[in-house]
Amino acid sequence: MGSASSSYRVIYLDVDGRIQKVVFSRFCTPRDIKELFCTALGVPRNTNLSLLDSSGAMVSIDPTMPHNTERSLYRVVPTTGGQLADKEELFQNVLTQVAEQFSRAFKINELKTEVTNRLAMLEKRVELEGMKVVEIEKCRNDIKKLRQEMASRNNSNFLEDNKKLTPRRDVPSYPKYHLSKETVEALRLPTFDAWQWEPNEMLSCLEHMYHDLGLVKDFSINPITLKRWLLCIHDNYKNNPFHNFRHCFCVTQMMYSMICLCNLQEKFTQVDILILMTAAVCHDLDHPGFNNTYQINARTELSVRYNDISPLENHHCAVAFQILSQPDCNIFSNFDPEAFKQIRQGTITLILATDMARHGEILDSFKQKVDSFDYADEEHATCLKMVLIKCCDISNEVRPMEVAEPWVDCLLEEYFMQSDREKAEGLPVAPFMDREKVTKPTAQIGFIKFVLIPMFETVMKLFPQIEEAMVQPLRESRDRYEELKQIDDAMNEVQKNKSESLTMGGKKK
């Protein structure tokens, strides 16, 4: 009994002139004891209290407080309003800081939810499908890889990383490359080899194009603003195997060469030329390396934001005008609101036209107009501009073989990255992106025969001069890939016969 009683403490309190006995365990926390005192005093349990002995000295409220008797009562006094207000103010400040942290973390929580859902789906596959040990291990590796990739996404979301949008202040010292006469002439041709150039050199070439076409002079574009804009454009292209800044440069250089080759400055206004060039520069900004099909099937943030309607192309437009919204990068600053509205709408229309899901619709519309084409008809002119940017966007096979072929490797690498992720996430996989089903010849033959050649031949009706420079190289590329496919088929047949012979030989033994 002595042991049990020693585990309890008794404190005597003076409560309005009467003696109040309080019994508590020595294992109670100070908070528990304070709540008992509040109950004895008849005040709310969260009231702050001070404990005073008979001499008026403060006593700490905790299980080790000095023992007292009925003759030496402790007096409990609620904390004054001023002290309470100070503590409440401190508490409110802490709550405000916590709320701000939660606000910053909001999108991270959304991302965590997305990750959790996808991992649950993969783990369910492991559990329910009764996979073999090797398959289970592969799936676990896929889950681990997905965790890493999704973790890296936390820092790669464009809208959460505004640092890239900040224009550089060191532009005046930006190296200016003096382009040789040979380079200036080569830039005007579809045969230009972009693989030979570093990013800063490509930026200088883009700058030259804007000057050479008279856009800087005609629209009073500040040359320093042009440099800052181009640098910001460069910084907002990701290092994907294919959809990167070099691709942006190639598309823009092909647009420049078509403007020169087809004498488009005689057909279009300078505003149209500015729209064509700027749309080409911006057309794949912040491309994540995974196409619209993936965005929609995976229900990514972009597909949700744009309701599954050209999510990537809408995002490219949004990033382009976020950059242009900064005064230091606004090459359109000298346009009045109505002119800017025209440029913005024209640029958006062209970038949205690069969605290959709209290829048939746009080309069919152009075919209906081409035989009676009228440059004065705004609908005709807009349709032509849409087809021109489409041609430039997928024009690699127009270039010489040694320039074009590395781009096929880059594109297939990006396709394979996507199909691997789609398999890991249980999403549909397009056969032309599956590393187990596609080869370089099979990837290119159909695309050249049924997409590129028909489109360029239609444009050729308006501009016969592109046949030698663009259409003929496409036909030669088609023939070369068909020869490669024949060689591949022959080798596969030989390998198949060899395997069958070995199998038959094994059975005879």
**131: its two tokens:** 């996979």
Give the end-to-end CA distance of the chain in Å, rounded to a whole number: 92
pLDDT at 160: 45
pLDDT at 16: 83
pLDDT at 484: 94
Going from the C-alpha of 322 to that of each of 219, 233, 249, 374, the distances in angstroms are 21, 11, 20, 34
pLDDT at 425: 96
Please state which CATH number belongs to domain 7-76: 3.10.20.90
On whether 328 is known to bind a ligand per the annotation, the reply is no
For the chain, what are the domain ranges? 7-76, 82-138, 188-490
Active site residues: 243
**pLDDT > 90: percent of the chain:** 61
On whether 62 is known to bind a ligand per the annotation, the reply is no
Q: Do domains 7-76 and 188-490 have the same CATH topology?
A: no
The answer to whether the Cα torsion of 181, 183, 184, 185 is positive or negative is: positive
On whether 316 is known to bind a ligand per the annotation, the reply is no
Residue listed under structure tokens 């749309």: 279
pLDDT at 138: 61
pLDDT in tens, 162-198: 556 666 545 544 556 689 999 999 999 999 999 999 9
pLDDT at 226: 97
On whether 67 is known to bind a ligand per the annotation, the reply is no
Q: Report strand pairing: 58-59 vs 49-52.
A: antiparallel
pLDDT in tens, 348-383: 999 999 999 999 999 999 999 999 999 999 999 999
pLDDT at 57: 84
Could you confirm whether domain 188-490 is CATH 3.30.230.10?
no
pLDDT in tens, 206-263: 999 999 999 999 999 999 999 999 999 999 999 999 999 999 999 999 999 999 999 9
On whether 246 is known to bind a ligand per the annotation, the reply is yes
- Kindly report the backbone phi and psi dihedral angles of residue 8, in degrees, each rounded to the nearest multiple of 5, phi listed first: -115, 150
Provide the b/e sequence for 28-44 (b: ≥16 CB within 10 Å): beeeebbbbbbeebeee
Going by the DSSP 8-state scheme, the letter that residue 242 receives in this structure is: S
